[in-house]
Every structure is written in C-alpha cells, then in structure tokens.
Amino acid sequence: MTCLKAIRKISYVVKRLNKALGMISAEIGLTKKLTMHIARHTFGNLSGEKIPIQMLQKLYRHSSVTTTIGYQANFIHKEADDALDSVIGF
C-alpha cells in the first residue's frame, strides 16, 4: 500500500469513528464535541497516575517509552491541581 493510500484509509476510519462518537455523545447528552483526538487525550489524562508507563506505552503503541513519557507529561499536573484545590476548594 502506498503512503497516500494509507493516509486516506486512516483519514476515512478516523472520520467514521468521529461520526460514531458524535452520535454517542448526542445520545448521552454531551454538549461538547467528542472526537478520537479528545477521547485519546481524556484517556491520557485519566490514566496518568493509575497505569504504569510501560503499560501505557503498549496501549498507545509507542515504539519508545520516551515518546510515552513526553505524551503523558502533558497530563501530569497533580501538584498544581492540588494547590488550586486548596485555594478554591472544589
């Protein structure tokens, strides 16, 4: 398969998944748009301190654990969240 064909196939699959996620989000009453990108980031945010980094590497299918660590670094804000929580009290 050529690179262009692979890109088109992936794009088609993502488009179909986004459409399905949109239908699911409407059915359960979400007001914000739900896409694969948002779903992946939500998973990263929720899994941050609960799943070992090596398992996350396998789940994300990253070839390097460094990639996974860099990706997860975007979601690890526990100290900042705790500091805000102590002030705001949510």
Class of residue 68 by CB neighbours under 10 A (exposed 0-12, middle 13-18, buried 19+): buried
User: What confidence score (pLDDT) does residue 1 get?
Assistant: 66
**Residue found by looking up tokens 């990253």 in the block:** 62
Q: Is the entire prediction scored with pTM above 0.85?
A: no
Q: Where are the domains of the chain?
A: 1-33, 35-76
Q: What are phi and psi of 64, to 5 degrees?
A: -125, 135
Please state, rounded to an integer, the average pLDDT across all residues of the chain.
88
- Low-confidence stretches of the chain (pLDDT < 50) are none
User: What confidence score (pLDDT) does residue 28 get?
Assistant: 93
